[in-house]
Amino acid sequence: MKNRQVLLRHTVTGRPTPEDFTVSESVAPEAREGEVLVKTLYLSLDPYMGSAIKGRHMSGAVAPGGVMPGETIGRVVQSRHAKFREGDLVQTRAGWQEYAIAVAPDPHASGMAAAISRAAHPLAAAAHVPLSAYLGVLGMPGLTAYAGTLTCLEPKPGENIVTSAAAGAVGSALGQIARNMGARAIGLAGSEAKCAHVVQRFGFAACINYKKPGWQDALAAACPGGVHGYSDNSGGAVLEGVVNVLAPGGRIMLIGLMDQYNTSERLPGPALGPFIGKRARVTGFVVYDHYARLGEWRRLGATWMGEGRLAFHEERIDGLAKAPDAFSRLMAGETMGKLIVAVARE
């Protein structure tokens, strides 16, 4: 059996391009005692991979020549472990390849070690939820939105909860979760098309294009009483603009630095005065600390999806060979919603 893989060609310094990757073919491995061989159906492409190829992500670096990492959903095609049968649907971290070896979850592993392991987790998908959604809105990005909203933003009814990258996987889920908890969801996104999508598809109260002059005034007008909670995905000028319209006691969750993922230098940060003046609470957030809540989020999220209270949007790419180009677009901000590679037919 042939195993197509996408390898990192060399360590990347700037914004990734398709030339930074190479597609190679080898023979698929055989499962040994205690292992399973998983055929990938869907692969998730995520911004953290942009840090990993620069050797800067907490989950580890990708060495030149190494297989790109990534969350996947697949089927067991060969089992040498009593807990798995051929045909079982599993979630694992096979990376950018068609076949991978996985093992049973280590009951003693927790936190990041468990989240980034090569364990295969049986997946019981709800009938009304597409399989790929378990990599997006009901996967790692959705868990980021859910656990972050509950533990950092703590929205109260009527409060203004703002997220940047609102059309993306994390932001679109976060705004809907805050809205479903009674708050007003306000988005920030990088184009008029993204803003229209955020309001029409995800039901945010408003969405502001931060690339348009005067966006801070538009944000202030959309948030009477100020910003009570803000989830920041980018850092830089957008974070600076939002802290200037914080409500007293505002909560800020720092979850990502899109502005820095594509550069090798550090960008200047915002002035800290407004944090102090507003007695704001700023919290750093790492999803790996919250995997114990994944089952809770999947049950609630799937219920909301059934009730029409949680929408999601995927950009689906057919075939592993197109992953490098899709990933380059993700890191350039040119994608909308959760980026999924359909590697094989379900």
Ligand X SMILES: NC(=O)c1ccc[n+]([C@@H]2O[C@H](COP(=O)([O-])OP(=O)(O)OC[C@H]3O[C@@H](n4cnc5c(N)ncnc54)[C@H](OP(=O)(O)O)[C@@H]3O)[C@@H](O)[C@H]2O)c1
Binding site for ligand X (CB under 6 A): 46-48, 141, 144, 165, 167-171, 189-190, 194, 233-234, 255-256, 258-259, 285-287, 330, 332-333, 335
Minimum CB separation from ligand X for residue 166, in Å?
A: 7
Minimum CB separation from ligand X for residue 139, in Å?
A: 10
By C-beta, is 28 or 135 nearer to ligand X? 135
Kind plus residue range of the DSSP H or E element containing 222: helix 215-222
Residue the block writes with tokens 């051929």: 86
Minimum CB separation from ligand X for residue 93, in Å?
A: 14
Output Rg (C-alpha) for the chain, integer angstroms.
20
Residue the block writes with tokens 């931060």: 210
The residues near 179 (Cβ < 8 Å, ≥ 6 apart) are: 185, 203, 204, 205
Rounded to whole angstroms, the Cα distance separating 313 from 284 reads: 26
Beta bridge partners of 184: 160
Give CA angle at 324 (15, 36), nearest 5°. Answer: 125
Nearest to residue 249, comparing CAs of 132, 154, 147? Answer: 154
By C-beta, is 22 or 216 nearer to ligand X? 216
Minimum CB separation from ligand X for residue 261, in Å?
A: 7
By C-beta, is 1 or 113 nearer to ligand X? 113
Minimum CB separation from ligand X for residue 115, in Å?
A: 10
By C-beta, is 3 or 163 nearer to ligand X? 163
Which amino acid makes up residue 88? Answer: D
Kind plus residue range of the DSSP H or E element containing 283: strand 281-284
**Cβ proximity of 60 and 84 under 8 Å:** no
Minimum CB separation from ligand X for residue 20, in Å?
A: 16
Minimum CB separation from ligand X for residue 197, in Å?
A: 10
How would you class 199 by CB atoms within 10 Å of its CB: exposed for 0-12, middle for 13-18, buried for 19 or more? middle
- According to DSSP, the β-strands at 227-232 and 246-254 are parallel
Nearest to residue 15, comparing CAs of 290, 289, 258, 304? Answer: 258
By C-beta, is 21 or 312 nearer to ligand X? 312
Kind plus residue range of the DSSP H or E element containing 112: helix 111-115
By C-beta, is 178 or 330 nearer to ligand X? 330
By C-beta, is 317 or 330 nearer to ligand X? 330
